[in-house]
Amino acid sequence: MTGLTGWAGFGVVTGASLLFIVVLQAITFAVGRRLGHYNVVDVIWGFGFVGIGWIALILGGGDITRRWILAVAVTVWGLRLTWHMLGKVRGKGEDPRYAKVLGENPSAGRVIRKIFGTQGAAQWFVSLPLQVSAVTHATHGIWWIVLIAGVVLWAVGISFEAIGDAQMTSFKSDPSNKGKIMDRGLWAWTRHPNYFGDSAVWWGMWLIAASAWPGVLTVLSPVVMTYFLVFATGARLLEQSMSKRDGYPEYQQRTSYFFPLPPKTREGRVVRATRHDRPAPSPNTSSPVDEFGLVAEFC
């Protein structure tokens, strides 16, 4: 069956996407209710986009090449993030963010409204470039440059996320690093390589969608994603929680906040926090590798 294009096609794709999101969030809510904590919602953040990407591929009637590019791109990004978050929440209790938002003994309605409903709405809005691109005509002429630029930017973003997470995991697995500030590898160039990478991924996918009209009109999707990653609750909240850690103010002075830049040097050498007498972080202290899903960000 050939998919639809235009407004009719968008109605089909977005309707199916919304239905998928509702079912996914409902199942996750039931699992969280049974477990007694709702941090499981972070696991399905990336997976939700994967589902929408494949819905757009299958039901959309627009350019098949662009549909496949976006489906593969969002699948690689989403499954990697899902696996990463699964490892972070497995065996752990409630996320302090959700405990603070929900309070004591929250009702089911409050949980749905504050966490699952807001994440579902965010998944739908941020994924609009995938949905719109699936029902628009083929990319032509010079606009292929825009599409290729989007693929390159996506590749940069996914690399920053994956490499940054791997570097942090390796750093934290070494007992001798306990209490130290991670300032090596990509973490020497930006204090939030995972958030920068996440932003770059979605700007890349927007560029791919923008290579054919009216994909450019979905620009608010990466804008909103970037705003929450940088200013709302992502990097900003981590900075607040980490600012009291010994050595972190010095790390802030020499390392770019968000966009990767060469670290500031002193006498030709990169200045690093290498003290071994730092106190170990408390169990409730967040680390720079934390992922803040848009659930808390939209609350």
Cα diameter, the chain:
66
Which residues does 60 contact at the CB level (< 8 Å), separation at least 6?
3, 4, 5, 9, 13, 67, 131, 133, 134, 135
Check residue 2 and give its pLDDT: 65
Task: Kindly give the confidence (pLDDT) of every residue in the chain, 299 residues in length, as a single tens digit, with 9 standing for 90 and above.
Answer: 467 889 999 999 999 999 999 999 999 999 998 888 888 898 999 999 999 999 999 999 999 999 999 999 999 999 999 999 898 888 777 766 677 778 777 888 888 988 899 999 999 999 999 999 999 999 999 999 999 999 999 999 999 999 999 999 899 888 988 888 888 899 999 999 999 999 999 999 999 999 999 999 999 999 999 998 888 767 877 787 777 777 888 888 899 999 999 988 654 444 444 443 344 444 444 444 344 344 333 33
Q: How far is CA 282 from the centre of its chain?
A: 26
Give the separation between CA 34 and CA 237, rounded to whole angstroms. 29
Tens-place pLDDT, residues 77-88: 999 999 998 988
Check residue 91 and give its pLDDT: 73
- 261 exposure class (CB count in 10 Å sphere: 0-12, 13-18, 19+): exposed
Q: Is 262 helix (H, G, I), strand (E, B) or coil?
A: coil
Give the separation between CA 291 and CA 299, rounded to whole angstroms. 16
